[in-house]
Amino acid sequence: MNYRNLPMVPRVVFGNGSFDQLGDILLPQRKSSDAPMIFLVDDIFEGTQLISRIPLICNDQIIFISADEEPKTDQVDLLADRIRDHFNELPSGIVGIGGGTLLDLAKAVAIMLNNKGKSYQYQGWDLVRKPSIYHVGIPTISGTGAEVSRTTVLLGPEKKLGINSDYTTFNQVLLDPDLTKGVSKEQWFYTGMDCFIHCIESLNGTFLNAFSQSYGEKALELCKEVYLEELDPSDSRDKLMMASWHGGMSIAYSQVGVAHAMSYGLSYLLGVRHGIGNCLVFQHLEEFYPEGVAMFNIMKEKHQIALPTGICGALTENDFEIMINVALSLEPLWENALGKEWRKLISPEKLKSIYQKI
């Protein structure tokens, strides 16, 4: 047996208002006055007070980026080129401020600033050869676990797939639950359910081990508190941020499952975003995750979330085939969900029948 030797985030700060420590945290990482810190920030914060709290010095730069679409390999390459062209020296670091979209962009740009070629060439497992530059993740919405994971999920020319590598993981994470205050109820639910689904898929998977289980159970307990109990809003933000962290740690040493595989298909063909895509699929997976789906429905009712319908209504045979191929290509996810003999247990027709319900 060859056990995986996983990197973890070496430094993390947690607490309301901890964002104001960012200047002190970055200072020792600054290489020279010509090597700036680059802040990749969700453009939802443009013009808000948060921007004035970013500790800019010398030629540091803020780049605002929309999270309306999930990150793409072309976008990563353009950003890395733009930063390389604009400065004489490589930046001292990249700081991503936002949800999973901005966190993944920050990770990918930090890798590409120190590696040759195009980012799509690194989509897969352990293809990155050189360490990325110093990079920091600051989540402003909780659930994806992108702040702890060793992957950055990118939409490439041929596939939606992560750059999974030891160099992807952040060097520093800053968890300030106050930053999540402005998230809409719907987005809070969709991104939070990403965490809930990570737990269900990890805890019910064949790859489960005591390491994953310990994190998965804690994350699930926190999700239940947040989505089923009446918590004080500040307590709820704290707990969801830590649920996201533990959920991410849980899948680091196991895998996700059916909902994620099928959600990747939806996202690849239709651009459906990760959180809502997982919810759209998960609601129809009672056959695979009976208890999880029952709990999901209770949470959905409690928070009066109405998921869109008819998403796959007008799709052609070819469209279904594309989604099914993307989903089935994610072999480790199916093996985790259904075991080594998964091919005997699932078929393209079965997947089509689930997609048709969405």
**What minimum distance in Å lies between the beta carbon of 256 and ligand NAD?**
9
How many Cα atoms are found within 13 Å in the side-chain-facing hemisphere of 185? 9
Separation CA 28–CA 20 (nearest Å): 16
* Cα(91)–Cα(145) distance, integer angstroms: 26
Smallest separation, CB 222 to ligand NAD (Å) = 17
Report if residue 275 touches ligand NAD, rule: CB under 6 A.
Answer: yes
CA within 13 Å, CB half, 69: 13
Residue 320 beta carbon to ligand NAD: minimum distance, rounded to whole angstroms: 22
Residues 130-169 touching ligand NAD, rule: CB under 6 A, are 140-141, 143-146, 149, 151-153
Tokens of 227: 């989505």
Q: Which of ligand NAD, Zn ion, none sits in contact with 101, Cβ below 5 to 8 A by type? A: ligand NAD
The only residue of 104, 176, 201, 335 in contact with ligand NAD, by rule CB under 6 A: 104
Handedness of CA 40, 189, 285, 342 (dihedral sign): positive
What residue 275 binds from ligand NAD, Zn ion, none (CB within 5 to 8 A, per partner kind)?
ligand NAD
Q: Which residues, 142 to 201, sit near Zn ion by CB under 5 A?
A: 194
Q: What is the DSSP string of 100-169?
A: HHHHHHHHHHHHHTTS-S-GGGG-EES---SPPPPEEEEESS-SS-TTT-S--EEE-SS-EEEEE-TTTS
Within 13 Å of residue 36, how many CA atoms lie on the same side as its CB? 17
Nearest residue to ligand NAD, by Cβ distance, number only = 100
Closest distance to ligand NAD from the beta carbon of 111 (Å): 12
- Determine which residue in the list 269, 274, 312, 315 makes contact with ligand NAD, applying CB under 6 A: 274
Footprint of ligand NAD on this chain (CB under 6 A)? Answer: 42, 44, 67, 70-71, 98-102, 104, 140-141, 143-146, 149, 151-153, 179-180, 182-183, 187, 191, 194, 273-275
